[in-house]
Amino acid sequence: MILVTGGAGFIGSNFVLDWLATRDEPVLNLDALTYAGNRANLAALESDARHVFVHGDIGDRALLDRLLAEHRPRAIVHFAAESHVDRSIHGPGAFIKTNVEGTFTLLEAARAHWSALEGEAKARFRFHHVSTDEVYGSLAPDAQAFTEDHAYEPNSPYSASKAASDHLVRAWHHTYGLPVHTTNCSNNYGPFHFPEKLIPLMIVNALAGKPLPIYGDGMQVRDWLYVGDHCSAIREVLERGRVGETYNVGGWNEMPNREIVSQVCALLDELRPSPAGPYARLVTHVKDRPGHDRRYAIDARKIERELGWRPAETFASGIRKTVQWYLDHADWVAAVQSGSYRDWVARNYDKRSA
């Protein structure tokens, strides 16, 4: 069995679903079910005995100790995190609590569990930490992409909290010998993405005839990684990655935000045309957010060289799958757009000047 933290969130739920679709090894899924954690993401596993869901917090040491003693997982895959830059600007405390203090508590529980193992069980145990390219800061337009040796230069409360968690994982390996891996990924997109992030927000707003808010000039560049490709990369690192190593995971798809929005609009024009005209009419440029990094880019050659991994999806194929998924799952979208979600969108966007 493996333990997955945050396995009801966007990337975590995709990983759990992919894992159980490709192998029979059971998953113990621990999630606090905050705003972005959603049991509906896992509805396909309701009758699957290989999936054990526990509603709980990674900061609860007693719960962690009990779960590790009872289920004795051979690996921990740590997704659980607060992960939205805008939310971290409005309320950084939650990011420190979950991403830093929560990771510390999980590492200590994992260290106690691993230390008590013997023989092959101890030798094969792994702690896999899932992180972000945002820890590296912002790149100049002509700068080389982030490699695993790039200095950490986080610029938001979110990226600073993830950088801190990365450093804790590294320290627990070098100080205590805990067998760890870390992956730093670029921007994910795909099914079950909570509609506060760029791509799902553009899709749901366009279908509702609402403005499509783009920060500043829209020329912030990101590397885009289809979530299914990210899941396959984590599986490869978990099984064959070198202990103590960091692997950057990217999609080789650098693109400015306004081009992303343009492609989403074009796909919606094709797949669900609006009688009011092209969706691009809804694009609205709004005041940029504080400390907005201009460019991220991942150099993913190390994971290709060592493990033979490359993304299977191009951006064109991945974004088409993503838009079609949202068109096919209107009930899921409606269910996550609760009063608290509407309040958040209003708080973050409604008062921004054009």
Q: Are strands 212-215 and 2-5 parallel, antiparallel or unpaired?
A: unpaired
What's the residue count for the chain?
Answer: 354
d(CA 323, CA 189): 10
Spell out the residues 6+ positions from residue 316 whose beta carbon is closer than 8 angstroms to its own.
Answer: none
Q: Are strands 187-189 and 212-215 parallel, antiparallel or unpaired?
A: unpaired
Tokens 């870390």 -> residue: 182
Spell out the residues 6+ positions from residue 329 whose beta carbon is closer than 8 angstroms to its own.
Answer: 191
Q: Contact at 8 Å (CB) between 224 and 256?
A: no
Is 158 labeled as catalytic in the residue annotation? yes
Catalytic residue among 134, 166, 196, 229: 134
Is 134 labeled as catalytic in the residue annotation? yes
d(CA 248, CA 255): 18
Catalytic residue among 57, 136, 158, 254: 158
d(CA 99, CA 81): 5
Catalytic residue among 31, 57, 133, 229: 133
d(CA 82, CA 238): 23
Q: How many helices (H) and strands (E) does the chain have?
A: 14, 12
Is 296 labeled as catalytic in the residue annotation? no
Q: Provide the 8-state DSSP code for 172.
A: H
CB atoms within 10 A of CB 76: 27
Spell out the residues 6+ positions from residue 266 whose beta carbon is closer than 8 angstroms to its own.
Answer: 280
For residue 185, give both structure tokens.
């990924």
d(CA 190, CA 41): 12
Going by C-alpha positions, the residue among 292, 241, 258 that lies closest to residue 89 is 292
Catalytic residues: 133-134, 158
